[in-house]
Amino acid sequence: MSVDNSTVARIARLARIHVPEDRQQTLSTELNGILDWIEELNQVDTDKVEPLASVTGHSLPRRDDVVSDGNRVDEVLAIVPETASGFFVVPKVVE
């Protein structure tokens, strides 16, 4: 894929940024360099590489998924200022 001045102008219009005509050639050269580098990366053989969630290899500590003392709706609603149909009533914030 090649980026020319008209493509740079279109991208700038879509991004709603002003790019002067004298900078469009420079930007198209830079974008083409980036696309060439991405194409170079696409040629690297990664078939035998495992996907990583973290580059350090450390796993995150996990807690046990156990049932706690939830399901206490009546106790929770007893301490709020105002309720309606089992829900909290809060002031309207959006007009």
Residue at 69 is within a domain: no
CB 28 within 8 A of CB 3: yes
- pTM of the full structure: 0.51
Token digits for 58?
A: 């450390």
Residue at 67 is within a domain: no
Q: What total number of domains does the chain contain?
A: 1
Residue at 95 is within a domain: no
| Residue 18 belongs to domain spanning | 5-42
- Sequence-distant (6+) residues with CB within 8 A of 77 are 83, 86, 88
Digitized pLDDT (tens) for each residue of the chain, 95 residues in all: 789 999 999 999 999 999 999 999 999 999 999 999 999 999 999 999 888 877 887 777 888 888 887 788 889 899 999 999 989 899 888 87
Assign 84 to helix, strand or coil: strand
Q: Which residues pair with 84 in a beta bridge?
A: 87
Residue at 50 is within a domain: no
